[in-house]
Amino acid sequence: MSTPAPVRGAERIRRALLGSYPLIYVQSWEESRVERALAVLAQKYYERPVPFAVWTCVDGWPGLGDAPADTRGPLRALDVMLQAPGPGFFLMKDLPALLADRPDVVRKLRDAYRLMKGKGKFLVMVSPRLLLPEDMKKEVFLVDYDLPDEAEVRNAISILGKRYLGEGGLSSADADRIVTALRGQTLDELEHVFSKVFARTPRFDETTFDELLAEKEQSSRKEGVLEYVPPRVTLDDIGGLDNLKDWLRKRQNLFTREAVEAGLPVPKGLLMMGMSGCGKSLSVKTIPALWNLPLFRLDMNLVFGTSNPEASFHRALKTTEALAPAVLWIDEIEMAITGGREAGGGDPALGRIFSTFLTWMQEKEALVFVAATANRIHLLPAEFIRKGRFDQVFFVDLPNETERKAIFAVHLRKQKADLSKFDAVFLAKATKGYNGAEIESIVQAAAIDAFNEKRPLDEDDVSRVITNTVALSRTMDDQIKAIKSWAHNRAISASRESAT
Ligand SMILES: Nc1ncnc2c1ncn2[C@@H]1O[C@H](COP(=O)(O)OP(=O)(O)O)[C@@H](O)[C@H]1O
Ligand SMILES: [Mg+2]
C-alpha cells in the first residue's frame, strides 16, 4: 500500500482559487505563512501581478492605495475591497473572530460572495480555529492548512542551522535528530525555538538538544488537546514486560523509508490494558526514542473540557495526520467511550466520538501509530478489542517475582544505590501483589529516610518501608480476579511468565 502524498496547504489554496471560490477560509496557526503564500500567488496567479492587501482590525487596509483613511470597521473594509478595481487577493486576518456576534458582517460577506464570483477577486480569512457560522458554510471554501511537512521542516532547519551555528551549520545526522524531535511545530515556532536556544549557546550538543525538546514541549502545550512528549524514557527504564518490549523492539524500523518501500506492513496501533500502576503509560513513553518518531498525547480530559468535544477530537486526529509519521498516545481510552463516567451511555456525543475514532483507525492512510492504554477495561466494548483494529492487545498484569526484581533494580539505580548491597530476591518476595508504581514509591520513601540520616540507602531502609505499606491490590482482590478473567481470551500477556 502506498501512501498518497498529502496535498500541501499552499497547493490547497491554489486549488480553491482554480475552483473560483471567492471566499476562502484558511484554518491555520500560521498567519505569516499563509500571508507569504498569498503574496506569491498574487505575483504569479495571473499573467501579470495583481494587488495583494492585508486587513487587520487594528490597521484596516494600510496597503490599499486609494482607500479612505479609516477602514478598521469590517463593513467599511468589505466595501472598500468590493470597490477595488480588477482582480486581487485580500487577506482579512481578524475577521473570523468577529463573525459570531456580527450578523451584519455575515450578511455582508454573503452578499460579497455573489458580487465577487467570477471577478478574479479573492477574500481569504485566516484563523487557527474554525469560527464559521452555520449559515455561511455554503459560500465559504474551507482550507485546512497543514503544518509543514518533513521536507519543509528539514529545509527550515538547515537554514536556521546556518544562521545560528555559522557557515557549516548542522551535520546531517544532527539535522535528522532535530527534524524528528521538532516536527509538528509550525515554521514560526521552529524559528522561535532555534533563536531561544542557539542565540544563548551557539553549538549543538546534548544540552542544547535537551533545551530544544523543552522549548518544543512548552510551545506544543499551547496547542490545545495534544501534548508533545519528549523522547526521554528508554526500555531500560521498564522492569519486566518482556513480551511487550520484544514486540516494540521488533517494530523499531518499520516506519523507515526502506521498510515502507519494501512493502512491509506499517503497524497501526497497540492497546495495553490492565492493572493500573504497572507500566502501561511508561511503555508508551519509550516509543519515541525507540522508533525515532515524535509522540503526541491526546488528553481526553481536555477534549471533554472544550465547548465542542467532538470537533476538538476530530481536529486532534487531523492534526496528528499532518504530523505523520508520528505516534498518537490516547491514555485511558475508556474516557473516550464513557466521558470519564463509570456508567457509559446516555450522551450521544460520546458515541459519536467513539465511532469517529473507530472509523478513523480503519481508514487513516497517514503513518500514525496509535498507542492506547486502558485501566478500567470492563468499560471497553468488545468491538473495540476485536482482532484487526489494533495490531496487538496486551494485558498488563501485576508484576511477577522476576519482574519485581527488575523493577527494584530500575528504581534503586535511579537513586544511585549500590545494587550489590541489596538482596533483590528477598525484596521481590516481600512485595508480592505490589505494582510498579508502589515499588517506585517504596524505594523513594526509603531513599528519603536514608538521606535524612545522612547515609547511603540500604536494604533495611527498603524493607522497613515495605512492612509499613499495604499493596492496593490487597484491597481489591475480587476486582483483580474479574479483570484477569475478562482479559484472558482477549489479550496476550505483556509479561513473559505468568504472575506469581
Ligand atoms: N514495570 C515497571 N518498571 C519500572 N517502573 C514502573 C513499572 N511500572 C510502573 N512503574 C513506575 O510507576 C509509574 C507509574 O506507572 P504507569 O506507567 O503510569 O502505570 P499505568 O500502567 O497505570 O499507566 C511509572 O512512571 C514508573 O515510575
Ligand atoms: Mg497510565
**Does residue 284 sit in the same domain as residue 386?**
yes
332 lines ligand 1 (CB under 6 A): no
**Does residue 354 sit in the same domain as residue 255?**
yes
Euclidean distance between CA atoms 326 and 333, whole angstroms: 18
**Does residue 252 sit in the same domain as residue 156?**
no
What is the per-residue pLDDT for 306?
74
**Does residue 114 sit in the same domain as residue 170?**
no
Could you tell me the sign of the dihedral formed by the alpha carbons of 94, 98, 104, 106, in that order?
positive
More confident residue, 500 or 77: 77
Q: Is residue 270 part of a domain?
A: yes
Indicate the residue among 396, 414, 446 that finishes a domain. 396
Q: Residue 275: nearest ligand to its CA?
A: 1
**Does residue 271 sit in the same domain as residue 386?**
yes
**Does residue 15 sit in the same domain as residue 112?**
yes
CA of 366 to the centre of ligand 2 (A): 26
pLDDT at 130 over 90: no
What is the per-residue pLDDT for 382?
77
Mean pLDDT of the chain: 85
What is the per-residue pLDDT for 9?
65
Percent over 70 (pLDDT), the chain: 92
pTM here is: 0.65
- Return the ligand 1 atom nearest residue 238 CA: 3
286 lines ligand 1 (CB under 6 A): no
CA of 53 to the centre of ligand 1 (A): 55
Q: Is residue 3 part of a domain?
A: no
281 lines ligand 1 (CB under 6 A): yes
Q: What is the CATH number of the domain that holds 419?
A: 1.10.8.60
407 lines ligand 1 (CB under 6 A): yes
**Does residue 240 sit in the same domain as residue 218?**
no
Angle between the 348-363 and 309-322 helix axes, to the nearest 10 degrees? 20
CA of 281 to the centre of ligand 2 (A): 4
Q: Is residue 478 part of a domain?
A: no
CA of 438 to the centre of ligand 1 (A): 9
Q: Is residue 229 part of a domain?
A: no
- Return the ligand 1 atom nearest residue 406 CA: 3
Placement of cell 505494582 in the chain:
435
Full 3-state SS string of the chain? CCCCCCCCHHHHHHHHHHCCCCEEEEECCCHHHHHHHHHHHHHHCCCCCCCEEEEECCCECCCCCCCCCCCCCHHHHHHHHHHCCCCEEEEECCHHHHHCCCHHHHHHHHHHHHHHCCCCEEEEEEECCCCCCHHHCCCEEEEECCCCCHHHHHHHHHHHHHHHHCCCCCCHHHHHHHHHHHECECHHHHHHHHHHHHCCCCCCCHHHHHHHHHHHHHHHHCCCCEEEECCCCCHHHCCCCHHHHHHHHHCCCCCCHHHHHCCCCCCCEEEEEECCCCCHHHHHHHHHHHHCCCEEEECHHHHHHCCCHHHHHHHHHHHHHHCCCEEEEECCCHHHHHCCCCCCCCCHHHHHHHHHHHHHHHHCCCCEEEEEEECCHHHCCHHHHCECCECEEEEECCCCHHHHHHHHHHHHHHCCCCHHHCCHHHHHHHCCCCCHHHHHHHHHHHHHHHHHCCCCCCHHHHHHHHHCCCCHHHHHHHHHHHHHHHHHCCCEECCCCCCC
Indicate the residue among 104, 119, 144 that finishes a domain. 144
437 lines ligand 1 (CB under 6 A): yes
What is the per-residue pLDDT for 219?
60
Q: Is residue 213 part of a domain?
A: yes
Placement of cell 465559504 in the chain:
140
Q: How do residues 254-305 score in pLDDT, each as one tens digit?
A: 887 788 788 888 899 999 999 889 999 999 999 998 998 888 898 887 888 7
**Does residue 21 sit in the same domain as residue 134?**
yes
- Return the ligand 1 atom nearest residue 285 CA: 17
Identity of the highest mean pLDDT range in 32-41, 181-190, 299-308, 349-358 = 32-41
Least confident window among 103-117, 279-293, 485-499 = 485-499
Q: Is residue 476 part of a domain?
A: no
CA of 401 to the centre of ligand 1 (A): 16
**Does residue 17 sit in the same domain as residue 138?**
yes
Q: Phi then psi for 12, rounded to 5 degrees? A: -65, -40
pLDDT at 342 over 60: no
Residue 420 near residue 456 (C-beta atoms within 8 A): no
Q: Is residue 488 part of a domain?
A: no
Q: Residue 396: nearest ligand to its CA?
A: 1
282 lines ligand 1 (CB under 6 A): yes
**Does residue 191 sit in the same domain as residue 270?**
no
Q: Strand 295-298 and strand 226-229: pairing?
A: antiparallel
Euclidean distance between CA atoms 287 and 259, whole angstroms: 17
438 lines ligand 1 (CB under 6 A): no
Query: Once rounded to an integer, what is the mean pLDDT over residues 399-414?
Result: 97
CA of 274 to the centre of ligand 2 (A): 10
Q: What is the CATH number of the domain that holds 283?
A: 3.40.50.300
274 lines ligand 1 (CB under 6 A): no
Question: What residue's CA is closest to ligand 1, atom 12?
Answer: 437
Least confident window among 19-23, 143-147, 323-327, 338-342 = 338-342
**Does residue 106 sit in the same domain as residue 131?**
yes
Question: What residue's CA is closest to ligand 1, atom 6?
Answer: 436
CA of 494 to the centre of ligand 2 (A): 15
Q: How do residues 9-42 score in pLDDT, each as one tens digit?
A: 677 777 777 777 899 998 877 788 888 888 888 8
Count of structural domains, the chain: 4
Residue numbers of the domain that contains 431: 401-469
CA of 439 to the centre of ligand 1 (A): 9
Euclidean distance between CA atoms 194 and 200, whole angstroms: 10
324 lines ligand 1 (CB under 6 A): no
CA of 360 to the centre of ligand 1 (A): 29
Indicate the residue among 83, 112, 144 that finishes a domain. 144
What is the per-residue pLDDT for 5?
41
Residue 411 near residue 439 (C-beta atoms within 8 A): yes
- What is the gyration radius of the CA atoms in the chain, in angstroms? 27
What is the per-residue pLDDT for 430?
96
Q: Is residue 484 part of a domain?
A: no
Residue 232's contacts (CB-CB under 8 Å, 6 or more residues apart) are: 213, 285, 289
**Does residue 333 sit in the same domain as residue 442?**
no
